[in-house]
Structure formats: C-alpha cells, structure tokens
Amino acid sequence: MDSLRRIDPQPLAPAATRRRNGWRRLASPAVFHGWAGRAVPCFAALAGVLAAAGLWVGFAVAPTDHQQGEVYRIIFIHVPAAWMSMFIFLVAAFHAAMGLVFHTRLSALMARALAPTGALFTVIALWTGAVWGKPTWGTWWVWDARLTSELILLFLYLGYLGLVSAIDDPRRADRGGAIVLLAGVVNVPIIYFSVQWWNTLHQGASVSLTAAPAMAHTMLAGMLLMVGACWAYAVAVALARVRCLIVARDSLARRR
C-alpha cells in the first residue's frame, strides 16, 4: 500500500490543476486505490442493510400471490439478478470503450473487475429461473427468448473472461478484452431479437417504466430494495477486485 501512495498521480501538474480536476483525478490508479479502499466498506454495509430489508419485506411482509402461491417469492432474487447481469455487461462495455478512447489505465481494470460479478448474476438468474420454472411451467428449462439470450450472455461473459485470462501481456489483454466487450454489446440486441422472433413462451414483463406496475406495492418495494442491494454488492465487490488488480499491475510493472 505504501509503495502505491508514493507514486505521484500527476507529477507534472501543479497543485492548483490537481484540485481543479476534481473527480477526474480518480482516473489515476494510485488515487483510485485509496478512494476505493474507503468506499468498499460503505457499499458493503449498504448492501447488507438493503438485502436484510429487502428479504424481510419479500418474505415476511409481501402477500402471497393468488396464482402462484409462495413460489413467486423467487422474484426477489431472480429479477434483480437478471437486471444486474445485463446492466453490468453494459457498464463493463462502457468502461472498455472509455479505455480504448482515452487510454485510461483504470478503465480496462474496471471492466475486468465487473465481469466476474456480471457472470455470477447471470448464473444466479438462470439458476433461480430454472427453480421457478419447474413449479410454474412444469419444466426446468424452455428455449424461450429471454432464457436463451441470458444463456448466451453468460457465454459472452465467459468468452471475455477466458480471453483476458489467457493473454499474459496486460496491454493486449486490456484492449483485446475491450474489443470483445464492444463486439458483444453490438451483438446483444441482435441476439435478443433473433431469439425472440425464433420462439417466445415467457410471460410478458410485469414491471415497465411506462405502464403502472401490475404487482402489489409491497412486492415492488421488496424487489426494488433487493435491486438496491445487488447494486451496492456489485459496486463493493468490483471496487475490492479493482484494488487487487491495481496492486497486481503495479507489482508486475515493478518486476520488469
């Protein structure tokens, strides 16, 4: 840690410029390492509190669904995980694009730190979906548009993770991984619509931004709390992972 502190983030910039740059100073791995170290416990605590509240609302307060019974409570884990799996892919691709355009060293590390969490949420969404599908649809798996595109999203995550872990040279791993993520982002809508036209059996979306939600308010509250918990968890884990990556890169550069 001390060795990192000693690296001056912007050795040539005068103090006034450094202050004016404000949050952009966070693009420097050395500054970000310290900031992330302070942020991780806050986000972790937030995730714990929100998850406790969300699970309490979801399992104790929310009413039983009159069609599906108690089984529907999987929604409090399934839907946030599915949202996060797609959202994290977008965020990782955004960081990858920033890294390619602005050559910021931190961006590729952020993309790399986010990807395992995204893959984890994809697995959780698929797993809980299968567990939910068995009692309600009578089958673990159907080849429907949303399930299939979620599965392919998992493959895209695994392809990215496989590539960056196979390349030893950090620069090539960062930029090659960024190209894969951007190609994936261009592909995800095409994949989604192709599988949707191919076959659809899934129920329609019950939460949308334009129409009033077709579920009880307590259910919605529980779900949104869980979404917040997943958000905070993803941020905390990604920041913790990016701190490890920064230290690893730093020691790698030192050895050369």
Which spans of this chain sit near another protein (rule: CB under 8 A)? 152, 155-156, 158-160, 162-163, 166-167, 171-172, 175-176, 179-180, 182-184, 186-187, 190-191, 194-195, 197-198
Q: How far is the CB of 166 from another protein (least distance, A)?
A: 5
Question: How deeply is 161 buried, as exposed, middle or buried, from its count of CB atoms within 10 A (0-12, 13-18, 19+)?
Answer: middle
Nearer to another protein, 21 or 194 (CB): 194
Query: Which CB, 93 or 232, lies closer to another protein?
Result: 93
Q: Which is nearer to another protein, 165 or 251 (CB)?
A: 165
Q: What letter would DSSP give residue 70?
A: G
Helix axes 145-166, 105-137, angle to 10 degrees: 150
Least Cβ distance, residue 115 to another protein (angstroms):
13
Closest approach of Cβ 147 to another protein, in Å?
13
59: CB partners within 8 A, 6+ apart: 73, 76
Cβ 187 to another protein shortest distance, Å: 5
**What's the rounded Cα separation, in Å, for the pair 218 and 109?**
38
Q: Which residues contact 5 (CB under 8 A, 6 or more apart)?
A: 30, 34
Nearer to another protein, 132 or 150 (CB): 150
